[in-house]
Amino acid sequence: MFFRWDWLRPQLTAPIVPTLGPVHPDTLSVDLFEDVLRAAATGGFLPYDKDRRWGGRKDEKVLREDVVHQPERTLVPTLDQRGRGTVKVFAYGPHDSVVAEATELAAKLAAVHDVTGARVVRPLGPESARPRGTRIQLKDFAIGPCPAPGGPVRTVTAWPTDVQATFAPFAEAMAADGLAFLHTRMRAGRCGPVLAAAVEGRIVGAIGPMEVCPDAIGRPQLMPQYFAVLPESRGQGLGRLLWRAAMHWGQAHGAAYQLLQTEVDGPSDRLCQAEGLVSLGFSHTTPV
């Protein structure tokens, strides 16, 4: 094995794994980190990689030869080949000095691989006094029932044809939130159902795709979704209805949990906090 668990485990202040992102704390193991190293050699997806559902090849891989693994710190660089390319260095360690070292490594590797982007990703524990970046939140479906919320929410295909036709302009308006990409997957028939909220015959919010897949230890996980409400339709409780409808769908389809990433102090973050989700920590990304 490359990694020593007695070195790495104390440094994992938040359950973030390079190329995989946030994972359930119960899945954290040395085998998980070894798996991402092996996947780098093949360019393929791990069976439990959330990006596998989009098909193609894995865009991001660990730069194994440049990993720094020592008792007090671990730096894991990755190369993301999307666009003009980005090097990210995941910096695990208790001291701020790990960030300075990660910054230097990211800049060097960006030059070596001739890419334009260089970033440092720093996991931060849930007790962080000044949280930054994105919060990792856990919805545990075993805690209690998730009743159907009612209201103007149903799957896109369950709406009348004329309402369904309004999804395209909605998706284009919310392209920055990933809805245009989601729409291309929907039209290709290559994703699970999408829940949509409609007001006065027009779709104004959506969450999806709704899909359950096994995680690294075989537990069913409700996969991350794209989630957006038109700005002019916010403040009416539609986002909460959509989220609760998604949680009802996940529980009804056997999911054990869902992990969510929300921008600290953003609308989704406040919603999840109000709904009682558990904070597992934070991920702070700094451009180099």
Residue 281 lies in a domain: no
220 and 127 in one domain? no
118 and 74 in a single domain? The answer is yes
Q: What is the CATH number of the domain that holds 234?
A: 3.40.630.30
Segments in 141-178 forming alpha helices (H): 161-164, 167-173
C-alpha to C-alpha distance for 223 and 225, rounded to whole angstroms: 6
| Long-range residue pairs from 235-239, CB within 8 A, at least 24 positions apart, any chain | 236/199, 237/151, 238/151, 238/152, 238/153, 238/197, 238/199, 238/204, 238/205, 239/205, 239/267, 239/268, 239/271
Whether 265 maps to a domain, the answer reads no
- Helix residue ranges, H only, the chain: 5-8, 30-42, 97-112, 161-164, 167-173, 179-187, 238-252, 267-274
Q: Residue 95 pLDDT > 80, yes or no? A: no
Verify that 168 and 249 share a domain, yes or no.
Answer: yes
- Nearest alpha carbon to residue 13 among 90, 80, 97, 69: 90
Helical segments of 4-96, H only: 5-8, 30-42
State the pLDDT at residue 110. Answer: 97
Query: What distance in Å separates the CA atoms of residue 59 and residue 143, rounded to the nearest whole number?
Result: 36
Cβ atoms 271, 240 nearer than 8 A: yes
Residue 244: per-residue pLDDT = 97
Half-sphere exposure of 33 (CA within 13 A, CB side): 24
Which pTM does this prediction carry?
A: 0.92
Question: Is 263's pLDDT higher than 80?
Answer: yes
Containing domain of residue 43, as a range? 5-136
Structure tokens at 157: 């295909």
State how far Cα 63 lies from the chain centre: 21
CA distance 155 to 88: 37
Confidence of residue 94 (pLDDT cuts 50, 70, 90): confident
131/163 same-domain check:
no
Q: Which pLDDT tens digit goes with each residue over 129-147? A: 778 899 999 999 999 999 9
- Is residue 48 domain-shared with residue 151, that is, in the same domain? no
State the Cα–Cα distance between residues 276 and 105, nearest whole angstrom.
39
The answer to whether residue 159 sits within a structural domain is yes
Question: Which residue type sits at 67?
Answer: V
| CB proximity list for 165: less than 8 A, separation 6 or greater | none
Mean pLDDT (whole number) for 224-235: 95
List pLDDT tens digits, range 141-193.
999 999 999 999 999 999 999 999 999 999 999 999 999 999 999 999 989 99
Each residue's pLDDT tens digit, 208-222: 999 999 999 999 999
Whether residue 282 is contained in a domain is answered as: no
Q: What is the pLDDT of residues 117-128, one digit of tens each?
A: 999 999 999 998
In this structure, how many other beta carbons lie within 10 angstroms of the beta carbon of residue 23?
Answer: 22
Relative to beta strand 220-222, strand 257-263 is: parallel
Residue 96 above 90 pLDDT? no
Examine residue 264 and state whether it is found in any structural domain, yes or no. no
Query: Could you tell me if 56 and 106 lie in one domain?
Result: yes
In tens, the pLDDT along 235-245 reads 999 999 999 99
Indicate the pLDDT class of residue 257, thresholds 50, 70 and 90: very high
pLDDT digits (tens, 9 = 90+) for 2-56: 999 999 999 999 999 999 999 999 999 999 999 999 999 888 899 999 999 888 8
Beta strand pairing status for 212-214 and 220-222? antiparallel
Residue 97's pLDDT is 87
CA-to-CA distance for 14 and 1, rounded, in angstroms? Answer: 22
Domain end point (choices 86, 111, 136) = 136
Nearest of 239, 233, 238, 236 to residue 266 by alpha carbon: 239
Residue 73: inside a domain: yes
Of 84, 105, 136, the position where a domain reaches its end is 136
**Ramachandran angles phi, psi of 138, nearest 5°:** -115, 125
